[in-house]
Structure 1
């Protein structure tokens, strides 16, 4: 019965569908009415079919996703270091309430002045990955850890000196040599990362998805070149890399962004570096919810944005998920906000079952096409950065900052004019308390820097 039912519906080509749509538009232009020109010069059609996949390197795109470790993800919580005892308590509480990975952000604190025995009391790094965010202190940190921990560690060091330079203007002359030392110190710790590529510095300055992919990979290639020149092999380098990106509110584009990053990284290694084992190297990606799209007013809408961002990250295949507190923008006490953030991840796993399928978007005509288009646009931009001499020279010439600024300014114009809707900001806004705008102190530098921004700032004080 079912077979005869389906026989009544003959398959139609995409051209037939398009001709019918044009007929139904009754004179309206198909391109202007139904085709969406998205950020990053992406052309989004109203309908995709299997015909759109025929020209794509689908085996390579999907193969890059299959190299992703598992369908599940680790819920990683970020904790700002205050004191050994207080921070240790916060870590243990976070683990008890659902976090299975931790970032300890030390800011500018002197690592050698911290008692790590007290800080890591009852925390075993072979069981729970702990990441230590420091500034140019990786070697000192690893020396301390090696004196305390006799077993193989999980986790890593987050010390992206290129991203730090782009946001603060500070760069040490010995950063590369210190990174080489760090990598060599943990070669016997296969699950401990020492090369952190922080793509969120571009996103939170206003970059769109194409720009974030391209500039993140440009920094990664800068590290690879510097480290190979310092004597390390590609095997030693690539196994220690973790990419970190921010996930915005454009649901499907953010899914495709993670997939495009994996595919493009393997493509660059395979074709640009002639690295035959590129497809065998897992591309580890940590995704964090966006602070750029957070709002200080009608704050509960931040929870909604964080939920869709988390879903994009998971479906896209992120290995780690970092959800910041919805109230981090406007309140010092983030206790309740962090609890909500942990619960978002837990519910998506325990009740939505998003951890049951590896690469759930595989085969989607739209997402597969969008993944490849993102990768293609990002590769073009990456090649433009390379033509300028790489990410350092492109940044010194102002190319990266100006490109991002154009996107951010365009968004600001759209949100102030009402062309772009942001719930709780320029539509359905409810001011629970008066907003006080605090201007950020300008950082001194001979070149423009990347400053973390929020899109909603432009209208919050109106």
Structure 2
């Protein structure tokens, strides 16, 4: 007897079997329970059924074809294990980075928005901005071997660019990127922050060239909803569709400005996305896949021959505050969030350590965060499959719904 000899079962037959198990007096009550309790609506416009079958892939051939192309073009199946370091003092931050690199970290993100250097300081009545000493910050760390991401303002770009040209023998091998705070601020507060100063800095930067293919100069953080006078931004509180839509709108605005001074073929490959990863496991997987699809489509509207199918995605888990009676509960949450980012196809992953109040716990928390990513890569073999979610009825369907909703929001 062959497997095909068994009679198939339709979606409607499965649904009727489920309805039989629901304890309700009438069929209408059962159907109401099914619709209200078994069908999930994680956010407006998105619907998750209680079960999926091959029939749910009907009409989604375009999506499967796209991700097959992405899997074939992807340069690596692994990801960069990034550690975030806030820079208050260059020498201290350098030691923290080198220590992390000996303990499983494979990439560093320096947050340069903290004092000194991130905010203007008053000196003798004059407003000045401290320029970081990158020779101290990056002592012993070569961007040709270690990807480094800098979160900074445009006023630091020339300083960084000059340093890298001096110490790196071949800038074409630079790895990492820059996260400009101004990009997000110009989208959130357009009347107060413009891209004008940033554009001038980018125009003269030697890093903005096709000769630095592995250095993403336009990494964009999650962008919240534009503020009014009485609102506060909470990016994590926004729905997935809204969050990604605002992020795409912000980068499109910058590209439109940049296109007046730089070739579009130089601009598009420099774009990368930083994505916050939440707890809704399958939604997190699908949103990375949808983002990749939408950006590829946007890129082709700028330049039909652009090859943006393997866009750089940097995922970061949430910063968690563990309950006092379960101090390491965050370990499980971080692991599932990291798994969803990896299955979604992230290129870099920053597992955020839990927000412990005890300094000793904080040190251990950082090591645990590094190990989550390392274990998934080195011992769980998540890096051995290019597209883990390919063909999943649920994930493919969710990806389609999210992508459609993003397009609708971008088109309004």
Instruction: State whether structure 2 residue 52 is matched by structure 1 residue 48.
Output: yes
Contact kept? 2:269, 2:308, Cα under 8 Å: no
Distance (Å, rounded) in 2 between the aligned partners of 1:183 and 1:207: 37
Distance 1:215 1:280, change over 3 A: closer
Instruction: State whether structure 2 residue 212 is matched by structure 1 residue 189.
Output: yes
Partner residue in 1 for 2:138 = 120
Distance (Å, rounded) in 1 between the aligned partners of 2:209 and 2:181: 17
Distance 1:43 1:130, change over 3 A: same
Structure 1 runs (4+) deviating above 6 angstroms are none
- Compare 124-133 and 167-176 and name the one that shifted more: 167-176
- Compare 21-30 and 244-253 and name the one that shifted more: 21-30
Shift of residue 171, structure 1, vs aligned partner: 2.2
Instruction: State whether structure 2 residue 10 is matched by structure 1 residue 17.
Output: no
Distance 1:379 1:296, change over 3 A: farther
Distance (Å, rounded) in 1 between the aligned partners of 2:351 and 2:70: 23
Partner residue in 2 for 1:363 = 391
Shift of residue 40, structure 1, vs aligned partner: 3.4
Distance (Å, rounded) in 1 between the aligned partners of 2:257 and 2:189: 21
Instruction: State whether structure 2 residue 276 is matched by structure 1 residue 246.
Output: yes
Instruction: State whether structure 2 residue 334 is matched by structure 1 residue 306.
Output: yes
Instruction: State whether structure 2 residue 158 is matched by structure 1 residue 158.
Output: no
Distance (Å, rounded) in 2 between the aligned partners of 1:165 and 1:276: 28
How many correspondences in the alignment?
376
Instruction: State whether structure 2 residue 154 is matched by structure 1 residue 136.
Output: yes
- Tell me the SS of whatever aligns to 2:146: coil
Contact kept? 1:68, 1:284, Cα under 8 Å: no
Partner residue in 1 for 2:123 = none
- Give the CA RMSD over aligned residues: 2.5
Shift of residue 294, structure 1, vs aligned partner: 4.5
Distance 1:64 1:195, change over 3 A: farther
Shift of residue 86, structure 1, vs aligned partner: 1.6
Contact kept? 2:353, 2:366, Cα under 8 Å: yes
Distance (Å, rounded) in 2 between the aligned partners of 1:17 and 1:36: 18
Select 1:277's aligned residue among 289, 297, 305: 305
Shift of residue 352, structure 1, vs aligned partner: 1.3
Select 2:254's aligned residue among 200, 217, 223: 223
- Tell me the SS of whatever aligns to 1:244: strand
- Tell me the SS of whatever aligns to 2:288: helix
- Tell me the SS of whatever aligns to 1:287: strand
Distance (Å, rounded) in 1 between the aligned partners of 2:253 and 2:135: 36
Q: What are the superposed Cα offsets for residues 186-230 of structure 1, whole Å, 9 maximum, x if unpaired? A: 4422111111111265774411211122111111211221111x2
- Tell me the SS of whatever aligns to 2:274: strand
Instruction: State whether structure 2 residue 193 is matched by structure 1 residue 171.
Output: yes
Gaps of 5+ in 1: 385-462
Distance (Å, rounded) in 1 between the aligned partners of 2:375 and 2:136: 32
Instruction: State whether structure 2 residue 376 is matched by structure 1 residue 348.
Output: yes
Q: What's the TM-score, normalizing by structure 2?
A: 0.84
Distance (Å, rounded) in 2 between the aligned partners of 1:166 and 1:332: 36
Partner residue in 1 for 2:229 = none
Contact kept? 1:102, 1:129, Cα under 8 Å: yes
Select 2:76's aligned residue among 57, 70, 79: 70
Distance 1:171 1:147, change over 3 A: farther
Gaps of 5+ in 2: 118-128, 226-233
Partner residue in 2 for 1:266 = 296
- Tell me the SS of whatever aligns to 1:336: helix
Shift of residue 361, structure 1, vs aligned partner: 0.5
Distance (Å, rounded) in 2 between the aligned partners of 1:187 and 1:166: 26
Select 1:335's aligned residue among 348, 360, 363: 363
Shift of residue 14, structure 1, vs aligned partner: 1.8
Instruction: State whether structure 2 residue 88 is matched by structure 1 residue 82.
Output: yes
Pick 1 or 2: higher relative contact order, CA cutoff 8 A, min separation 6. 1
- Tell me the SS of whatever aligns to 1:286: strand
- Tell me the SS of whatever aligns to 1:194: strand
Q: What's the TM-score, normalizing by structure 1?
A: 0.75
Contact kept? 2:221, 2:247, Cα under 8 Å: yes
Distance (Å, rounded) in 2 between the aligned partners of 1:250 and 1:208: 11
Distance 1:117 1:240, change over 3 A: same
Contact kept? 1:65, 1:317, Cα under 8 Å: no
Instruction: State whether structure 2 residue 214 is matched by structure 1 residue 214.
Output: no
Partner residue in 1 for 2:221 = 198
Partner residue in 2 for 1:379 = 407
Distance 1:147 1:112, change over 3 A: farther
- Compare 345-354 and 192-201 and name the one that shifted more: 192-201
Shift of residue 296, structure 1, vs aligned partner: 6.2
Select 2:317's aligned residue among 289, 299, 313: 289
Distance (Å, rounded) in 2 between the aligned partners of 1:218 and 1:168: 13
Distance 1:79 1:356, change over 3 A: same
- Compare 15-24 and 125-134 and name the one that shifted more: 15-24
